[in-house]
Amino acid sequence: MTKTDNPNWSPFGFETRMIHAGTPPEPVTGARQTPIFQNISYVFYDADHAASLYNLQTFGFLYSRLSNPTVAALEERIASLEAGRGATCCASGHAAQMLAFFAFMEPGDAFISSTRLYGGSITQFGKTFKKFDWHCHFVDFDEPENVRKALTPKCKAIFCESLANPGGVVTDLEAIAGIAEEAGVLLIVDNTMATPYLCRPFEWGAGLSIHSTTKFLSGNGTSLGGCVVDSGTFDWAKNDKFGGLTKPEPAYHGLTFYETFGDLAFTTHAHAVGLRDLGATMAPMNAFQTLLGIETLSLRIERHCQNAQKVAEFLDAHDLVDWVSYAGLKSSPYHALAKKYLSGGFGSVFTFGVKGGYQMGMKVVENCELCSHLANVGDTRTLILHPASTTHRQLTDEQALAAGAGPDVVRVSVGLETLDDITADLDQALKTAAEQTKKAAE
Identify the domain boundary among 293, 308, 327.
Answer: 293
Q: Is residue 6 a part of any domain in this protein?
A: no
Mean pLDDT to the nearest integer, 67-87? 97
Identify whether residues 33 and 154 lie together within a single domain.
yes
Q: What pLDDT sits at residue 4?
A: 43
Identify the domain boundary among 243, 262, 293.
Answer: 293
**pLDDT tens digit string along 243-290?**
999 999 999 999 999 999 999 999 999 999 999 999 999 999 999 999
Separation in Å, CA 209 to CA 19, 84, 140, 184, 239 = 21, 9, 20, 18, 21
For residue 327, give the CATH number of its domain.
3.90.1150.10
CA pair distance 206, 266, nearest whole angstrom: 14
Does the pLDDT of residue 3 top 60, yes or no?
no
Q: Are 8 and 85 in contact (CB under 8 A)?
A: yes
Beta bridge partners of 378: none
One-letter amino acid at 383 equals L
Does the pLDDT of residue 347 top 80, yes or no?
yes
Q: Is residue 278 a part of any domain in this protein?
A: yes
Quickly list DSSP for 367-406.
H-SSSEESS--S-SS-EEE-GGGTTTTTS-HHHHHHTT--
**pLDDT tens digit string along 161-192?**
999 987 779 999 999 999 999 999 999 999 99
Does the pLDDT of residue 95 top 60, yes or no?
yes
What is the separation, in whole angstroms, between the first and last Cα of the chain?
A: 60
DSSP letter at 155?
E
Would you say how long the chain is, in residues?
442
Identify whether residues 73 and 218 lie together within a single domain.
yes
* Lowest mean per-residue pLDDT among 26-35, 90-99, 226-235: 26-35
Does the pLDDT of residue 303 top 60, yes or no?
yes
Q: Are 312 and 350 in contact (CB under 8 A)?
A: yes
Range of the domain at 407: 298-441
CA pair distance 282, 36, nearest whole angstrom: 12
Neighbours of 205 (CB within 10 A): 21
Separation in Å, CA 381 to CA 160, 180, 276, 385, 418 = 27, 38, 36, 13, 10
Q: What pLDDT sits at residue 1?
A: 43
- pTM, whole model, 2 decimals? 0.94
Identify whether residues 177 and 245 lie together within a single domain.
yes
Q: Is residue 9 a part of any domain in this protein?
A: no
CA pair distance 249, 290, nearest whole angstrom: 33
Separation in Å, CA 8 to CA 11, 76, 260, 347 = 10, 12, 20, 25
Identify whether residues 268 and 363 lie together within a single domain.
no
Closest CA to 85 of 293, 356, 270: 270
Q: Is residue 3 a part of any domain in this protein?
A: no
Q: Is residue 8 a part of any domain in this protein?
A: no
CA pair distance 100, 266, nearest whole angstrom: 9
Whole-number percent of the chain with pLDDT over 70: 95
Q: What pLDDT sits at residue 334?
A: 96
Averaged confidence pLDDT in the chain: 93
Total domains, the chain: 2
Does the pLDDT of residue 296 top 80, yes or no?
yes
Q: Is residue 282 a part of any domain in this protein?
A: yes
Q: Is residue 343 a part of any domain in this protein?
A: yes
One-letter amino acid at 213 equals T
Q: What pLDDT sits at residue 280?
A: 97
Does the pLDDT of residue 235 top 90, yes or no?
yes
Does the pLDDT of residue 400 top 70, yes or no?
no
Measured in degrees and rounded to the nearest 5, phi and psi for residue 322 equal -85, -40
Identify whether residues 344 and 215 lie together within a single domain.
no
Q: Is residue 405 a part of any domain in this protein?
A: yes
One-letter amino acid at 428 equals Q
Identify whether residues 239 and 101 lie together within a single domain.
yes
**pLDDT tens digit string along 14-59?**
999 999 999 999 999 999 999 999 999 999 999 999 999 999 999 9
Identify whether residues 187 and 272 lie together within a single domain.
yes
Identify the domain boundary among 293, 313, 334.
Answer: 293
Identify whether residues 288 and 349 lie together within a single domain.
no
Whole-number percent of the chain with pLDDT over 90: 86
- Alpha carbon dihedral 185, 142, 407, 168, in 10-degree steps, equals -90
Q: Are 426 and 314 in contact (CB under 8 A)?
A: yes
* Lowest mean per-residue pLDDT among 64-73, 216-225, 356-365, 418-427: 356-365
Q: What pLDDT sits at residue 398?
A: 74
Identify whether residues 234 and 320 lie together within a single domain.
no
Q: What pLDDT sits at residue 2?
A: 45
**pLDDT tens digit string along 110-133?**
999 999 988 889 999 999 999 999
Q: Are 236 and 184 in contact (CB under 8 A)?
A: no
**pLDDT tens digit string along 311-326?**
999 999 999 999 999 9
Identify whether residues 322 and 277 lie together within a single domain.
no
Please state whether the peptide bond connecting residue 166 to the residue before it is cis, i.e. omega within 30 degrees of 0: yes
For residue 193, give the CATH number of its domain.
3.40.640.10
Identify whether residues 426 and 327 lie together within a single domain.
yes
Does the pLDDT of residue 442 top 70, yes or no?
no
Identify whether residues 338 and 414 lie together within a single domain.
yes
